[in-house]
Amino acid sequence: MKDYINIEVSKLHAFEGHPYKVLDNEEMDALTKSVRIYGVLSPLIVRPLEGTTDEYEVISGHRRLYAAQKAGMDTVPAFIHAIDRDTAAIELVDSNLHREHILPSEKAFAYKLKMEAMKHQGRTSDQLGPKLTAEAIADGESATQVKRYIRLTYLIPTLLDMVDTKRIAFSVGVELSFLPARLQEYLVETIALYDATPSYSQAVRMHRMCDERLFCLTESGIDAIMAEEKPNQRERLSLPMDRLRPLFPAGYTPKKMQTEIMGVLEENYRPPKKPRDYDAR
């Protein structure tokens, strides 16, 4: 490997579609402080960007690059790897998979990126089947688990964020990923309405209802499932959606219905204030 060189920050570009999040958090603040004092101690790994003469795509070091930008640095040290995009994608994924903190969404899109790169190289197929061994995608993960992670990439961003923040369990997210995007969006509204997330058994039923040819999952079906009381759920009042819908204009979401109903109740049914002692004199 050749020695690293210093490259202008303005000549470096993030790897298109890279799965790892670069967040402005306490860890980034600490990294920025370190870079400001000591510089970038570990050189980035980059590759020449096609169609340019002196610009590069980052393979490893997106967080270090961002910290350097925040610290006001003009150049950063980097090793240049003259490799194609598919090889770079695999290298990018492998260089980050063993980080201490990695979100389910990051691992999901990392596995998908690596699988697609390997497919382009002819090393695997579109589907995770016999041609895909566990070792080919992730060391220490079964092919089944890799497939489950990749399913998360079919979740809409709001639901995927709930998986990352552990509001929704990983296994629940996998089941919900089989719902069409429009029903996932509706589910987000019902989660807000009922202040409850689906259990694993509820998510499995939604998935199965989407698969059934004779009984496809509908918005009413989601309402019925989400209205079910769960043992660990706080006390709440459920209102049948089929009776509410005729009372509101077309296009009203469950969340908007809830807002309207609460507004009417607070305006007209707020209990009267108790008289103070001096008022009764």
* Model pLDDT for residues 225-236, shown as the tens digit of each residue: 998 876 655 555
Q: State which amino acid sits at residue 66.
A: Y
Three-state SS at 8: strand
Phi-psi region of 82 (alpha: psi -120 to 50; beta: other; left: phi over 0): beta
How large is the average pLDDT for residues 130-153? 76
DSSP-derived letter for residue 276 is: P
List 47's β-bridge partners, or say none: 57
Decide which of 3.90.550.10, 3.90.1530.10, 3.40.50.300, 2.30.180.10 is the CATH code for 1-82.
Answer: 3.90.1530.10
> What radius of gyration do the chain's Cα atoms show?
26
What's the token pair of residue 84? 């194609």
Sheet containing 56-60: give its strands across.
Answer: 5-8, 75-80, 44-48, 56-60, 12-13
Instruction: Return the pLDDT at 280.
Output: 46
Instruction: Return the pLDDT at 130.
Output: 45
Confidence of residue 51 (pLDDT cuts 50, 70, 90): confident
CA atoms of 76 and 146, how far apart (whole Å) = 35
Confidence of residue 277 (pLDDT cuts 50, 70, 90): low
Q: What is the average pLDDT score of the chain?
A: 84
pLDDT of residue 267 exceeding 50: yes
pLDDT of residue 190 exceeding 90: yes
First-residue to last-residue Cα distance in the chain = 92
Confidence of residue 265 (pLDDT cuts 50, 70, 90): confident
Residues of the chain with CATH 3.90.1530.10: 1-82
pLDDT of residue 274 exceeding 80: no
Give tens-digit pLDDT for 17-41. 888 888 888 989 999 999 999 999 9
CA atoms of 184 and 162, how far apart (whole Å) = 12
CA atoms of 224 and 33, how far apart (whole Å) = 52
Q: Which of 6-10, 78-82, 268-272 is least confident?
A: 268-272
How large is the average pLDDT for residues 58-86? 94
Alpha helices (H) along 80-137 = 85-96, 104-120, 134-137
The predicted model scores a pTM of 0.73
Q: Which of 16-25, 56-65, 175-184, 229-238 is least confident?
A: 229-238
Q: State which amino acid sits at residue 47.
A: R
Three-state SS at 108: helix
CA atoms of 180 and 177, how far apart (whole Å) = 8
Per-residue b/e over 123-153, b at no fewer than 16 CB within 10 Å?
ebeeebeeebeeebbbeebebebbbbbbbbe
Q: How many CB atoms lie within 10 A of CB 223?
A: 23
Confidence of residue 243 (pLDDT cuts 50, 70, 90): confident
